[in-house]
């Protein structure tokens, strides 16, 4: 049985005549350098970006815990608000720009989904977001934010998860533990 497993593995991952593995030769969609967590602060850009309601940098710091402290600025439904930015980023290749990455998100407590233009949905514990990868290969940076607000539930923690797929096949999963400031509890 062990010999058969080794043989199957050798056949599946053996280089072809060009020296490529089947994944490379078949042009399968691939993600690497995946990072999720809070948006990293950049002291040189933070103040200017806060005033414009943009993330404090173009880089994600690894970590699932995201303290919602309201040190950043964002535009929510046309108004400047205090918030905390977080998200994910990755490198990718072999994407079809006409086919989106589909992400299903779930929250442990219902929330609102929206952006600078306005509220898209309210009171939902789950939803779907489509991500357009505009190039065949490149880097994707996906910042999002939660507003700094009073919490009316115990412990002030919300769990948020993303389960993303491409062409129906799993692409990645990530989760965040949004921790709202104790000053509002």
**7-33: pLDDT as tens digits:** 223 223 333 334 333 344 468 999 999
What percent of the chain clears pLDDT 70, i.e. is strictly above it?
66
Domain 26-184 CATH assignment equals 3.40.50: no
Please choose, from the candidates 96, 180, 167, 86, the residue with its C-alpha nearest in 3D space to the C-alpha of residue 132: 96
- Is pLDDT at 173 greater than 60 in this prediction? yes
* Mean pLDDT score of the chain: 77
Whole-prediction pTM value? Answer: 0.75
Can you tell me the mean pLDDT for 55-72?
Answer: 83
List the chain domain ranges: 26-184
- Is pLDDT at 62 greater than 60 in this prediction? yes
The DSSP secondary structure of 42-110, one letter per residue, reads: -TTTHHHHHHHT--S-S-BPP-SEEEE---EEEEETTEEEEEEEEEEEEEEES--TTS-EEEEEEEEEE
- Is pLDDT at 137 greater than 90 in this prediction? yes
């Amino acid at each position: 049985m062990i010999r058969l497993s080794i043989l199957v593995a050798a056949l599946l991952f053996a280089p072809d005549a060009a020296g490529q593995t089947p994944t490379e030769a078949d042009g399968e969609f691939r993600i690497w350098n995946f990072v999720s967590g809070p948006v990293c602060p950049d002291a040189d850009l933070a103040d200017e970006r806060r005033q414009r309601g943009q993330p404090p940098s173009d880089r994600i710091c690894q970590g699932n815990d995201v303290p919602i402290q309201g040190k950043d600025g964002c535009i929510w439904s046309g108004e400047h608000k205090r918030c905390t930015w977080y998200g994910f980023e990755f490198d990718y290749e072999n994407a079809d720009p006409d086919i989106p990455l589909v992400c299903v998100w779930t929250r442990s407590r219902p929330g609102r989904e929206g952006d600078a233009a306005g509220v898209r949905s309210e009171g939902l514990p789950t939803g779907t977001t489509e991500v357009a990868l505009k190039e065949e290969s490149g880097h994707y940076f996906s910042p999002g934010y939660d507003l700094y607000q009073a919490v009316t539930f115990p412990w002030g923690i919300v769990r948020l998860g993303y389960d993303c797929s491409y062409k129906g096949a799993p692409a990645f999963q990530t989760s965040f533990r949004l921790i709202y400031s104790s000053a509002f509890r």
